[in-house]
Amino acid sequence: MEYRITAELTLPVGTPGLDGLQQQGAAALLSEWLDRVATVEGPEGVEITPYDHRLEVRSTGAVVELLVDAPALSFAENGAEALLHEILERTELLADWQVGKCEVTVSDAELAEALEGGADERVLSSGIGLPIEDITAQRRRLLSLSSRLHAFDLDAFGPSPEDPDARFLAAGALVERASVLTEELLMDIMTLDEEADSLDKDEANWTADDSEGLFVLHDLPVRYRHHYDLGFAKKFLIASAVVYSRLTSSPWVPPASTAESLALHILVENAKDLLVSFAAVDPDDVTAMFAVFESRAHSRHDHEWLYLEDLDTADPDDSSADPLGFLSRDAHSWFAPYPEVRNSATHPYLIDDED
């Protein structure tokens, strides 16, 4: 598929602007290298082919427009960026220049035409009710975030679906939703705190069971909602932040407690919804990708037991119905580290003296 890339090349910080003669020299050097390029190896070893370019050199740098042939948007943008970095590195006089914004840019008419085939045809026929430009903008945003998921490579999402962007989009969705969920947890804490302030001292502790419109706490197992008080919410914010920060570093450290496993579970569910509802990724592909991801990301799957409806009617004294002993435990116990995990792997705020 054909993509038009617009990239900005900028001078090093603090460098004086280029005069007219220097602009002509930079234009000649860049044009010479751009004319030489035949193919470029992008992500996953996929080759892209640039076959035309336009160049405008200014006193502050240059704007390059490239027409490239690539199997998907992510390959086009990443391949073009790799090409420009290589050109600057090989051109001694421009070695200190930097590659700024590098992304696909199309007009509305070109966008509609570009989306007629390949993976993007599914965007048009997805039926999610969003304008094409909104879907494309969301997909581009998630693709740009995907490189921040350092804890996993694309194989963590299983074999590549028919949509070649799908695994990149899944990685970006995890990063994007981690940020959003953190903000929403802060809002939940503020809500509980404000509502608790209105209580008389002899009233019961205010919990998520007493509040309407909470974001994250209402996604936790419903049967324990009366345990999610302000102290719990603060601890869950820390637990989730620990897990989410691990996504951006390598190697991956699996959840160290039931609470951390729940935080990762909620993140995955939110990422799934984002991909299906706003990025037009096929629901079956989303389910398959994250089934593989969760099998690799979790060391335990005890959190899944908390969502079983049968647990609501189980006899607390029946160990076979509750083999993990959740019915006899308070939700605050979820922050205790798994026995095989050292306390050093857990945030100090989450460790009680009795643990």
Residue ranges covered by each domain of the chain: 2-105, 147-350
Q: Which two tokens stand for residue 342?
A: 């050292």
Give the DSSP H/E element, type plus range, for residue 268: helix 258-278
Region 12-32: mean pLDDT is: 89
Residue 215: which pLDDT band, with cuts at 50, 70 and 90?
very high
Mind listing the pLDDT tens digit for each residue in 263-287?
999 999 999 999 999 999 999 999 9
Q: Which two tokens stand for residue 282?
A: 């096929």
Assign 56 to helix, strand or coil. Answer: strand
Residue 247: which pLDDT band, with cuts at 50, 70 and 90?
very high
Question: Are 80 and 5 contacting, i.e. CB atoms less than 8 angstroms apart?
Answer: yes
DSSP label at residue 39: -
DSSP string computed for 293-347: HHHHH-S--GGGGGG-THHHH--TT-TTT-TT-GGGS-GGGGGSBPTTS-GGGS-
CA gap 265, 269 in Å, rounded: 6
CB within 8 Å of 245: residues ≥ 6 apart: none
pLDDT at 165 over 70: yes
The CATH class of the 2-105 domain is alpha beta
pLDDT at res. 14: 83
pLDDT at res. 45: 67
DSSP label at residue 198: T
pLDDT at res. 200: 56
Mind listing the pLDDT tens digit for each residue in 317-328?
554 444 455 555
Pairing of strands 47-58, 40-41: antiparallel
Q: Which two tokens stand for residue 158?
A: 């299983």
Closest CA to 184 of 225, 230, 237: 237
pLDDT at 25 over 60: yes
